[in-house]
């Protein structure tokens, strides 16, 4: 197949062209001993407790500053595993491709998925390709499943937050959402706004090693930090208070939000995590995170309190020193952000 | 492009110093004051930045009729919904309108029932849709004050000059000064000062409020939208109250010029003419609406589509009307956070991004 070729319906038919596509693109780019067998299913040997997850990716545009749908579909699933404290190991990927999609673009996307897999130290061990007629999909959609193993003694859950926990974010928030939106709306800044899309398994591994008292980890993707904190407050039956002055933003992200009338707290992140850590261990966890590439700007933004009213609440201490509510984002979320 | 000014306006220490100054000035007041923030964007900023909670007891901020979606009467919303259901029509609107409930349904439901609804960020996007769909009639719902109306007018002029006859506007535009006057004449209203809208004033100019300040003796301060702007404007109001003045003052000097924006006003007046308009909560106010002039009637959706909305009524139990006139606050409404929530709104104030109920629910509940 030549790079200038386009994907045809026959490439998803299961026949000769399908085989050609799988061999010349996926088999070549993602080659590893398990995938190379090209059997109906990958066979794996695993022990202990496992984490297993799935995520579909429909981001528009498929190429965006800081990444593309390939990298995003790998990191999204790897990060979901990591948030359970699991060591991400194996990935399967399903591609739904619109007829007429450029082969060159597919190669780039598969390449960046594989590059992210290497970065995250996982293997793509199974895959599937379907081609649909023009208009039945928008370019390409990718679904990935992930399998990871949970080290002994690790028990993380959104319901684990305890009053007194310090809340740490691993870096600036809203980068992914703002990058996608400003790209879509044609808003340009002096410095290009990039998605933060990154695999967080290694960062989480280091954090877990540094402290046995991490209670909750979450990656604030769709709905952003606002949705994540509300979910955790509800699941744990606690109040949360964060300090607005402590929230790290890039100035371009804030600029985009001002122009589009959005709150950075509801923007998606794809390479950030929120950690709830026992107060006594917050310093050591913070120190560990800051040594890591994807946690160098980690900072404490707030803490967990006892639930004071009839329902769990998330508050922000404002710049004025007063308190306001951070509510669960409602209505139509920004579509196709990941 | 960068926006370094944000940091200057949002420094905690600076804001807390302003708040301290406001506390001092409030201490000099002879009696408690009720300040109405006329504009929905101010309402949102006040809630979003926790300003209400930080205020001294002698100052009360109440929301006014400055959320354009909220003051749009149900009859106008129903008219737009009926038009959306006509085959061959594509309706376009700003995102806020999608979830606003009409008498029988909202736009989201109309879309579910087959209406072609497209959300646009600008009227130019709506014009583009009209160009790309020459066989369809593309109707834009013109909702908004003097800030929005000139851009709608400019788009209509472009459509007119380029012969894009399938671009139409359903105008529910309104102008602010007559509403303020009507508000001052409302029995039971207790407002001591107006925090006037920055964006609208950039178009109409500070002079537009002089009749209100003069006739009713109410101080008017035109404010910007950053928390520092709002605090500084309240300090200016306190100073006026203490010294017994009732003047139009401009805090938002970086956004508003004396005389406003005559070019924008001229474009608006070329396409629109004053007409009586129905406001939710305030009723019909003479010369407070903007009807499309005869010259542009080919682009007037109200003339092309004669739809029956005699069934229109306001939602039962909803206090949006009283909330828009500052007589009630969102918490006074029995439906607030009970039957009426952002996910299941009954009145428009719970839906609009500038609505008082939405602001309270999102930030202050």
What structural domains and CATH numbers belong to chain A? 9-149 (3.30.1330.10), 166-325 (3.90.650.10)
Cα-trace Rg, chain A: 21
With an 8 Å Cβ cutoff, is A186 touching chain B? no
- Domains of chain B, first to last: 72-175+260-304 (3.40.50.11740)
Residue B4 has pLDDT above 60, yes or no: no
Q: Tell me the chain A residues in contact with residue B364 when contact means C-beta distances shorter than 8 Å.
A: 324-325
Reported as a pLDDT band with limits 50, 70 and 90, residue A190 is low
The dihedral over CA atoms of B329, B331, B335, B339, expressed in degrees to the nearest 10, equals: 130
Q: Which helix (H) or strand (E) holds A117?
A: helix A103-120
Task: Considering only residues B186 and A220, tell me which one the structure prediction assigns the higher pLDDT.
Answer: A220
Cβ-defined contact of B15 to A327 (cutoff 8 Å): no
- Residue A256's pLDDT is what? 85
Summarised one tens digit per residue, pLDDT across range B157-205 is 999 999 999 999 999 999 999 999 999 998 877 899 999 999 999 999 9
Reported as a pLDDT band with limits 50, 70 and 90, residue B12 is confident
Q: DSSP E strands: which ranges in chain B? A: 33-39, 59-66, 89-93, 116-119, 137-142, 167-171, 193-197, 220-223, 248-250, 272-279, 283-292
Lowest average pLDDT, out of A10-19, A45-54, A326-335, B264-273, goes to A326-335
Rounded mean pLDDT, A5-23:
88
Rounded mean pLDDT, A264-268:
94
Residue B6 has pLDDT above 70, yes or no: no
- Residue B1's pLDDT is what? 44
With an 8 Å Cβ cutoff, is B3 touching chain A? yes
Cβ-defined contact of B53 to A245 (cutoff 8 Å): no
Q: Tell me the chain A residues in contact with residue B52 when contact means C-beta distances shorter than 8 Å.
A: 322
- Residue B342's pLDDT is what? 87
Cβ-defined contact of A254 to B16 (cutoff 8 Å): no
With an 8 Å Cβ cutoff, is B274 touching chain A? no
CA dist., res. B138 & res. B88, Å (int): 9
- Residue B343's pLDDT is what? 85
Rounded mean pLDDT, A4-23:
87
Cβ-defined contact of B15 to A320 (cutoff 8 Å): yes
pTM of this prediction? 0.86
- Residue A183's pLDDT is what? 86
Reported as a pLDDT band with limits 50, 70 and 90, residue A257 is confident
CA dist., res. B222 & res. B176, Å (int): 13
Residue A14 has pLDDT above 90, yes or no: no
Question: Each residue of B266-278: b (16+ CB within 10 Å) or e?
Answer: ebbebbbeeeebb
Reported as a pLDDT band with limits 50, 70 and 90, residue B31 is very high
Residue B264 has pLDDT above 70, yes or no: yes
Pick the residue of A260, A263, A317, A331 with the most B CBs within 10 A to test the interface with B by mutation. A331
- Residue A175's pLDDT is what? 96
Residue B228: closest C-alpha in chain A? A320
- Rounded to a whole number, what is the distance in Å from the CA of B134 to chain A's nearest CA? 21
Measured between its terminal Cα atoms, the distance across chain A in Å is 30
Nearest-CB residue to A255 (from B2, B54, B99): B2
Q: What is the largest CA-CA distance in chain B?
A: 66
The DSSP call for residue B101 is B
Percentage of chain B lying above the pLDDT 90 cut = 84
Rounded mean pLDDT, A85-96:
97
CA dist., res. B277 & res. A134, Å (int): 48
With an 8 Å Cβ cutoff, is B122 touching chain A? no
Summarised one tens digit per residue, pLDDT across range A119-160 is 999 999 999 999 999 999 999 999 999 999 999 999 999 999
Residue A303 has pLDDT above 50, yes or no: yes
Nearest-CB residue to B50 (from A251, A261, A322): A322
The interaxial angle of helices A251-260 and A175-185, nearest 10 deg, is: 50
Cβ-defined contact of B54 to A190 (cutoff 8 Å): no
Pairing of strands A238-243, A299-306: antiparallel
CA dist., res. B195 & res. B157, Å (int): 33
Task: Considering only residues A189 and A105, tell me which one the structure prediction assigns the higher pLDDT.
Answer: A105
Rounded mean pLDDT, B34-49:
94
């Amino acid at each position: 197949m030549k790079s200038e070729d386009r994907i045809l319906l026959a490439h998803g038919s299961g026949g000769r062209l399908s085989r050609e596509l799988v061999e010349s693109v996926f088999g070549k780019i993602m080659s590893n001993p398990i995938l190379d067998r090209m059997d109906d299913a990958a066979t794996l040997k695993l022990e202990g407790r496992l984490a297993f997850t799935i995520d579909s990716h429909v981001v528009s545009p498929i190429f965006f500053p800081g990444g593309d749908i390939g990298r995003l579909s790998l990191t999204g699933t790897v990060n979901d595993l990591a948030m359970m404290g699991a060591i991400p190991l194996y990935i399967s990927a399903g591609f739904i491709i619109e007829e007429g999609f450029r082969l060159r673009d597919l190669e780039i996307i598969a390449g960046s998925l594989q590059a992210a897999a290497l970065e995250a130290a996982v293997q793509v061990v199974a895959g599937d390709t379907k081609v649909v007629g023009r208009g039945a999909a928008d370019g390409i959609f990718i679904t990935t499943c992930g399998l990871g193993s949970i080290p002994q003694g690790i028990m993380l859950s959104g319901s684990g937050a305890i009053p007194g926990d310090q809340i740490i974010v691993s870096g600036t928030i809203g980068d992914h959402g703002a990058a996608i939106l400003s790209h879509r709306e044609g808003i340009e800044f002096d410095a290009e706004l990039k998605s933060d899309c990154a695999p967080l398994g290694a960062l989480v591994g280091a954090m877990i090693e540094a402290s046995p008292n991490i209670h909750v980890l979450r990656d604030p993707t769709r709905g952003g930090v606002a949705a994540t904190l509300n979910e955790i407050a509800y699941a744990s039956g606690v109040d949360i208070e964060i300090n607005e002055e402590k929230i790290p933003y890039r100035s371009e992200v804030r600029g985009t939000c001002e122009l589009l009338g959005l709150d950075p707290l509801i923007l998606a992140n794809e390479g950030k995590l929120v950690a709830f850590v026992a107060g006594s261990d917050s310093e050591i966890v913070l120190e560990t995170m800051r040594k890591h590439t994807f946690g160098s700007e980690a900072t404490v933004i707030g803490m967990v309190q006892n639930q004071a009213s009839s329902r769990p609440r998330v508050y922000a201490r404002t710049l004025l020193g007063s308190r306001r509510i951070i509510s669960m984002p409602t209505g139509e979320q920004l579509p196709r952000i990941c | 492009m960068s926006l370094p000014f944000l940091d200057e306006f949002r420094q905690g220490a600076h804001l807390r110093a302003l708040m301290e100054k406001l506390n001092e000035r409030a201490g000099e007041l002879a009696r408690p004051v009720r300040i109405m923030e006329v504009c929905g964007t101010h309402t949102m900023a006040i809630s979003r930045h926790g300003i209400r909670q930080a205020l001294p007891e002698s100052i009360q901020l109440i929301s006014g009729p400055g959320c354009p979606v909220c003051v749009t009467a149900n009859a106008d919303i129903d008219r737009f919904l009926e038009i959306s259901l006509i085959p061959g029509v594509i309706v376009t609107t700003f995102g806020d309108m999608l979830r606003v409930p009409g008498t029988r349904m909202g736009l989201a439901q109309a879309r579910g029932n087959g209406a072609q609804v497209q959300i646009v960020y600008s009227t130019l996007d709506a014009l583009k849709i009209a160009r790309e769909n020459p066989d369809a009639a593309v109707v834009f719902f013109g909702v908004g004050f003097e800030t929005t109306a000139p851009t709608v007018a400019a788009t209509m002029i472009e459509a007119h000059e380029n012969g894009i006859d399938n671009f139409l506007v359903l105008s529910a535009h309104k102008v602010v000064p007559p509403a303020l006057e009507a508000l001052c004449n409302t029995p039971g209203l207790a407002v001591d000062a107006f925090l006037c809208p920055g964006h609208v004033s950039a178009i109409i100019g500070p002079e537009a409020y002089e009749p209100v300040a003069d006739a009713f003796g109410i101080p008017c301060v035109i404010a910007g939208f950053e928390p520092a702007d709002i605090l500084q404007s309240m300090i200016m109001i306190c100073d006026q109250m203490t010294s017994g003045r009732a003047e139009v003052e401009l805090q938002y000097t970086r956004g508003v010029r004396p005389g406003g924006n005559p070019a924008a006003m001229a474009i608006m007046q070329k396409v629109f003419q004053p007409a009586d308009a129905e406001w939710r909560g305030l009723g019909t106010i003479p010369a407070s609406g903007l009807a499309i002039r005869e010259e542009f009637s080919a682009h007037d959706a109200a003339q092309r589509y004669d739809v029956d909305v005699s069934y229109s009524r306001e939602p039962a139990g909803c206090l949006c009307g009283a909330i828009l006139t500052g007589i009630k606050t969102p918490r006074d409404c029995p439906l607030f956070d009970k039957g009426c929530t952002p996910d299941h709104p009954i009145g428009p104030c719970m839906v609009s991004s500038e609505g008082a109920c939405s602001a309270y629910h999102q930030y202050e509940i």
